[in-house]
Amino acid sequence: MPNLKCTRWAAPLGAVVHDVDVRNVSEADHAELNRLFCEHQVLVFRDQQLTPDDQMAFAGRWGKLVRHPYAGMASHPDVIELSNHGKRRDINQHWHSDMTYNESPPKLTMLYAREAPELGGDTAFANQELAYNDLSQGLKDVLSGLTALHSAAGLAGTYGADAEAAPKAEHPVVRVHDETGRISLYVCRAFMRSFRGWTRAESRSLLQFLFEHSVREEYQARHAWRTGDLVMWDNRAVLHFAVHDHGDDPRVIHRVQVEGSVPA
């Protein structure tokens, strides 16, 4: 049996996996890492030394890499390089799950810190299983029958792309994890527009409540980056937020995503 050392780093979610070089992971250890990933939702690997190819190879152990519709390195289109262009130009300062506008959104996102600021630049996470569990049974009953439209139209505008051609999809507001069977709230302020069969005006109040409820402090944890950190999280059950409080200090991170199943 694999003997991986793992330490929880926050009460709501998250764990650090110790003494693992992700370039050399056996099949048995990978199976154990996936079990830990499903249990803790966010995994941190310290002191990695990865090329883009190394990161892609490790992410590929979990499935097919999925490209962002508007971003990607010229040399490695499956990898997005995130760097500090200033707070006003940072488009990730909001709670979201990645690429929910896809029919099969990413099941996981993996970030590798090539350069981290001395202070700040954390990534915050919120556990959506806890968010769902704390809802009243009456609201759970209402949400169980709802689906919502997710659209990348606003994101397309940010990149100067055609908003009309932007990807969009409908997903349930409550989803069942395809590996654990646990239930999560599945809402995303960045991309959700309205409930199916409801107008945007009718949807607004309930969506606003869900957006605020889903990121209550007791569901949150924050990761303080160090150069060499590799962090992966479960988009099926976690929201995240890039905190831009590091001014002009350099912050260079490589991002990849792994395709998931159609939310059910």
Look at 15-24, 106-115, 239-248 and tell me which has the smallest mean pLDDT.
239-248
Q: Examine the pLDDT at 20 and tell me if it is beyond 90.
A: yes
Q: Which residue has the tokens 């130009």?
A: 89
Taking the C-alpha atoms of residue 56 and residue 177, their distance in angstroms, rounded to an integer, is 24
Band (pLDDT 50/70/90 cuts) for residue 1 is: very low
Band (pLDDT 50/70/90 cuts) for residue 156 is: confident
Task: Give the pLDDT score at 155.
Answer: 83
Do the beta carbons of residue 225 and residue 30 sit within 8 Å? Answer: no
Band (pLDDT 50/70/90 cuts) for residue 178 is: very high
Tens-digit pLDDT profile for residues 77-117:
999 998 866 555 555 567 999 999 999 999 999 999 999 99
Ordered domains of the chain (ranges, CATH): 5-259 (3.60.130.10)
Task: Give the pLDDT score at 196.
Answer: 95
Band (pLDDT 50/70/90 cuts) for residue 10 is: very high
If you average pLDDT over residues 246-263, what whole number do you get? 91
Task: Give the pLDDT score at 245.
Answer: 75
Indicate the pTM of the whole model: 0.94
If you average pLDDT over residues 45-62, what whole number do you get? 98
